Amino acid sequence: MKTDVITKSLFFIMGASSVASGQSQLQFGGGGHIMLPVGDYGGSTNDFYLGSKYGAGVGLGFHFKSRFEFAGIPWMASMEYSIFKNKGNGESSQGEIELDRRIFSLRLGPEWFLDVADSFTPYVSAGLILNNMGGDAGFKKISTVPDTAFIQQAGERLGLGISGGVLIPLYPEANFDISLNYNLLNPFNKVWVADSRERRVDSYGAINDSQDPLFSPADTRHFIQRPRSIQTLQFTITVIFQI
C-alpha cells in the first residue's frame, strides 16, 4: 500500500514537471530557515506529557540547496537540519519537561518558474522528503515518570512538501532565494516502537506516531490513543550561485 502511494506521487511529480520551464544551469548555495511546528508536532510540554502532541517549539536550522536539469526537467534538491527546543510544565505546575527535537531532511522535486518580471522570478515546487527525526527529553518532579533525561530513538519517515518562492538577482551569477514550504513529514508510514511495556516513560522513547496498540483510557502507561501527524511550515532564505 505504501509503495503504491509513493509510486503514484513520483509519477504525478514527474508528469507535471514535463510542462515546466526553468533554469538549466547548475546552481548551489546555502542559507538558514525558521520552522514552525504544525499539526501534532507543536503544542505545549504538557501536551507532550499527555501524548496528544509532540511539544516542539519554534525551530531554527540551516540547509544546502542545488538546482539542476535532468532529462529536460528542472529539479531542486536540498539537505536540511533543524532543531526545535521547548521547556515547561508537565502533569502539574510542579512538573518540569525539557525537549530538544531534531530533523535531518533530504528533499527532491521539480520546479516551475514564472517569467513575470526582470527584477524577480517566482517559482513553485513539489517533492518528496526523506526525514530522520529524533531528539532528547528530560523529566523532573513528575509522579508517573522518573526524574530522567534520555536520547529519543531516531526514525525515518517519507514525506511530501510543497513550496513557493522568489529569486531576486544579486548579480549575474547569484540570487537571493526566499521561499515558504509546507511539509507533511509522516503521511505514509506511522510506526509504534517501545522497548518495554512496563513504564510510562517507554512511550516517550521514540517517535511513536502510530496509536499505542495497548492503549486503554484507564492505563497511565499506554496513553497515546491515536496516530499523530508531523507537519512544519518553513521560511527559508538562501544565497544560491550558478556554477
Question: Which positions ≥6 away from 1 have C-beta within 8 Å?
Answer: none
How remote is the C-alpha of 161 from its chain's centroid? Answer: 9
How remote is the C-alpha of 237 from its chain's centroid? Answer: 17
pLDDT the model gives residue 190: 94
Sign of CA dihedral 40, 45, 47, 51: positive
Q: Is residue 53 pLDDT above 60, yes or no?
A: yes
- 24: pLDDT confidence band, cut at 50, 70 and 90? very low
pLDDT the model gives residue 164: 97
Under DSSP, the state recorded for 212 is P
- Nine cell digits for residue 242: 550558478
Give the residues across from 125 on adjacent strands: 111, 163
Tell me the C-alpha distance between 16 and 74, whole Å.
Answer: 12
Q: Is residue 8 pLDDT above 60, yes or no?
A: no
- What are the C-alpha distances in Å from 216 to residues 29, 32, 211, 212, 219? 50, 43, 11, 9, 5
pLDDT the model gives residue 179: 98
In tens, the pLDDT along 164-190 reads 999 999 988 899 999 999 999 999 989
Global pTM?
A: 0.87
Nearest to 207 by CA among 157, 161, 169: 157
In tens, the pLDDT along 61-116 reads 999 999 999 988 999 999 999 999 999 999 888 899 999 999 999 999 999 999 88
Tell me the C-alpha distance between 128 and 77, whole Å.
Answer: 10
Residue with cell 519537561: 97
Sign of CA dihedral 49, 143, 203, 99: positive
Q: Is residue 11 pLDDT above 70, yes or no?
A: no
Q: Count the Cβ atoms, other than its own, within 10 Å of residue 146.
A: 11
